[in-house]
């Protein structure tokens, strides 16, 4: 799907994309931490209970590597070995996927402009950096905004903009947001040929005058 022939999306989806653009998602990492934490918590608790004889004194006094289990494994050495290899491979792949997922940099999609892309072998690509810089420069000009930074995030099919505004002392928040919406973002959507561009705005405060170190 190219940028020029986007279908209109329902407002709820746009809102979701705008909310997702607030910050890089940590949902995957949180899921890993919660699952691993639960496994360790439940396992540790069960072993401690077993060790204190809650499941019976006879069971608690058996060795950790129970001869019964060893005998069962030795009865089927090939199955046991393949099971061990499969578990090892699973752990390796899972661990590498978690680590790679957590370490990968955030995606900044470039935008392909519509009509030329549809015409054939010529296409105009606006880099994510250029598009974001244009929005940031315009937003920084608004009255009440000291400086601004923008990032294009999301995917090529569903890009979103993350804008951070550092407000000055005399800023009127309502006014700044209204002008950002009506002037900057409307221009950006028009010039990038996007019918929709969800935006997440982050408000910070500017430090206009650095304090003297010695008063």
Partner 1 sequence: MRVLLRVLVPLLGLAVALVGALVVLEVVALSVRPDDGDGLVVPWPQWYAALERTAWTDAPVPGIAIGTAVFGLLLLLVGLFARRPDIAVDAPAPDITVTTSARVLARLVGRRVRAADDVAAASVTASRRRVTVAAEAWNDADPGLADRVRARVEGLLDEVPLRRRPRVTVTVQERRGPR
Contact with partner 1 (CB under 8 A) among 5, 62, 72, 143: 62
Contact with partner 1 (CB under 8 A) among 4, 6, 32, 146: 32
- Kindly give the pairing relationship between strand 111-112 and strand 125-126: antiparallel
Q: What angle do CA 131, 152, 7 make, to 5 degrees?
A: 90
Between 89 and 124, CB nearer to partner 1: 89
Q: Report the C-alpha gap between 109 and 104 in whole angstroms.
A: 15
- Per CB under 8 A, contacts with partner 1 among 68-127 are 70, 81, 84-85, 87-100, 102-103
Contact with partner 1 (CB under 8 A) among 3, 113, 185, 194: 185
| Length of the chain in terms of residues written | 215
Positive or negative torsion for Cα 4, 176, 24, 39: negative
Contact with partner 1 (CB under 8 A) among 1, 7, 8, 11: 11
Q: Report the C-alpha gap between 110 and 144 in whole angstroms.
A: 30
Total binding residues toward partner 1, as defined by CB under 8 A:
80
Between 148 and 185, CB nearer to partner 1: 185
Check binding of 200 to partner 1 (CB under 8 A): yes
The SS3 call for residue 107 is: coil
């Amino acid at each position: 799907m190219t940028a020029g022939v986007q279908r209109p999306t329902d407002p709820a989806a746009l809102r979701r994309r705008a909310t997702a653009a607030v910050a890089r998602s940590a949902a995957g990492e949180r899921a890993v931490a919660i699952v691993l934490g639960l496994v360790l918590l439940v396992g540790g608790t069960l072993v401690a209970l077993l060790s204190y004889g809650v499941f019976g004194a006879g069971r608690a006094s058996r060795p950790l590597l129970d001869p019964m289990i060893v005998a069962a494994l030795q009865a089927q050495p090939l199955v046991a070995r393949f099971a061990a290899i499969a578990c090892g491979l699973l752990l390796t792949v899972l661990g590498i996927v978690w680590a790679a997922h957590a370490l990968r940099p955030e995606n900044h999609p470039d935008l392909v402009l519509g009509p030329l892309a549809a015409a054939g072998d010529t296409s105009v690509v606006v880099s994510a950096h250029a598009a974001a810089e244009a929005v940031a420069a315009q937003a920084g000009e608004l009255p009440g905004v000291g400086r601004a930074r923008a990032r294009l995030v999301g995917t090529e099919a569903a890009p979103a903009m993350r804008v951070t505004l550092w407000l000055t002392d005399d800023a009127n928040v309502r006014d700044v947001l209204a002008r950002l919406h009506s002037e900057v973002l409307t221009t950006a959507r028009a010039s990038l040929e996007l019918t929709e561009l969800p935006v997440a705005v982050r408000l910070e405060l500017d430090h206009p005058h650095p304090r003297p170190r010695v008063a």
